[in-house]
Amino acid sequence: MTNKSLGVLIVGVVLALIGWNSFFIVLQTERAVLLRFGKIENANVEPGIHFKIPMVNNVRKFDGRLLTLDSQTQRFLTLEKKAVMVDAYAKWRIADPERFYTATSGNKLVADERLARRLDAGLRDQFGKRTLHEVVSGERDALMADITGLLDKAARRELGIEVLDVRVKAIDLPREVNRSVFERMATEREREAREHRAKGREQAEGIRADADRQRRVIVAEAYREAEEIRGKGDAKAAAIYAEAYNQNPEFYAFHRSLQAYRQSLSDKGDVLVLDPESEFFRYLNQAKP
């Protein structure tokens, strides 16, 4: 190979390298800024193929997808000065590539560190405004909504990132207070149980007394109705007896005497000591031999 051919080959390779470095691609999942001697020339390069001047322009690409910041478990105080251990996370993405680059030099670790400080400060402020019951259950959703709004506003202004959501994963008590809190909760539940049992006994006594009263009323009403029915029956029977007696008084008296004999002499061991001329033997004495 001659020197001329070698020179042409070198020039060709250099031109190929320059041409290769004159183009760059920005993916749909990326955000990018174009620099000119270290200064921003294009603050928001759209996805696609673009041209740049080698050795003059430089491209910085960032992940444009939704990212997660896992905050370390922190100790916060509630409104009543009760300590809680809070584990939270934030979802964020780049909203302003130019501000993100100037604030963090495009370093995600720097962005996470600064956002984590903001997140901890916001959580400390929100927990300090609420009681333990409110942060655990009563206003937990409101707390997360408030911290999301405040953190998003500050992060857009300082870091050029958008905070879409902040979630509290867990709220625990410090180990040193767990035992005392559990004992207090057990005492409180025992007190509530005693109150419920006392109310139950009171209601049971009331129900039992009402049932006894109703039973007595029902029995009294039934006895009254039975007596009324029995009285009406006796009156009707007496009327029937009287009517039958008036139809044939002599036969009725004879029939009654036979019933008296049957009842009085039903047992062989029965003994009666009576005057033979008494009214009891009137029909026997009238019998002909």
Count other C-beta atoms under 10 Å from residue 146's C-beta.
17
Task: Kindly report the average pLDDT of the chain as a whole number.
Answer: 81
d(CA 250, CA 122): 117
Three-state DSSP class for residue 188: helix
What pairing do the DSSP bridges indicate for beta strands 83-94 and 67-70?
A: antiparallel
d(CA 106, CA 109): 9
Higher pLDDT among residues 274 and 249, named by residue? 249
d(CA 57, CA 33): 10
Mean per-residue pLDDT for 25-35?
A: 86
pLDDT in tens, 145-188: 888 999 999 999 999 999 999 998 888 877 766 667 677 778 88
pTM above 0.75, yes or no: no
Q: Are the C-beta atoms of 104 and 114 separated by less than 8 Å?
A: yes
Angle of helix 175-247 versus helix 249-264 axis, rounded to 10: 130
d(CA 287, CA 289): 7
User: Is pLDDT at 51 greater than 70 in this prediction?
Assistant: yes
Measure Cα distances from 244 to 76, 233, 249 in Å: 104, 16, 8
Higher pLDDT among residues 2 and 67, named by residue? 67
Higher pLDDT among residues 256 and 101, named by residue? 101
User: What is the reported pLDDT for 282?
Assistant: 63
DSSP 76-106: EE-TT--EEEEEEEEEEEES-HHHHHHHHTT
Helix or strand holding residue 33 (H, E): strand 30-36
User: Is pLDDT at 8 greater than 60 in this prediction?
Assistant: no
For residue 139, give both structure tokens. Answer: 């206003």
Name residue, tokens 């707390």: 143
For residue 49, give both structure tokens. Answer: 């193929």
For residue 176, give both structure tokens. Answer: 């040193």
**Amino acid making up residue 208:** R
Measure Cα distances from 252 to 70, 243, 256, 285 in Å: 113, 11, 6, 18
The rounded percent of the chain whose pLDDT value lies above 70 is: 78
**Domain segments of the chain: what residues?**
9-63, 67-179, 250-285
| 147, HSE (Cβ side, Cα atoms, 13 Å) | 30
Helix or strand holding residue 75 (H, E): strand 74-77
The CATH class, in words, for 67-179 is alpha beta
